[in-house]
Amino acid sequence: MAGEGERDIYFELIAIGGSVKCTAIDSVTGTEVSVVGPASAAQADLERLALQKLKARLAREARS
């Protein structure tokens, strides 16, 4: 179980035709976000983009 301030991020990548959908899921809140990119994109780039989007969403929800 994740402790205070400790969280895991899970990534799921699904190929859809010429695109890849990358979903990032926060282990603590269960919040998830997705990004879609070309199949030729590097996995690390898609994961980094999804992580940035997830962090922005978590920050926005924390302010609410």
Q: Give the predicted TM-score (pTM) of the model.
A: 0.87
Alpha-carbon gap, residue 34 to 46, rounded angstroms: 10
Return the residue matching tokens 């179980």. Answer: 1
Summarised one tens digit per residue, pLDDT across range 1-28 is: 344 568 899 999 999 999 999 999 999 9
Of residues 29, 24, 26, the one with CA closest to residue 47: 24
Burial of residue 9 (number of CB atoms within 10 Å: 0-12, 13-18, 19+): middle
In the chain, the number of structural domains is 1
Is residue 32 included in any domain, yes or no? yes
Range of the domain at 17: 9-63
Inside any domain, residue 58: yes
In this predicted structure, the answer to whether residue 56 has a pLDDT above a threshold of 80 is: yes
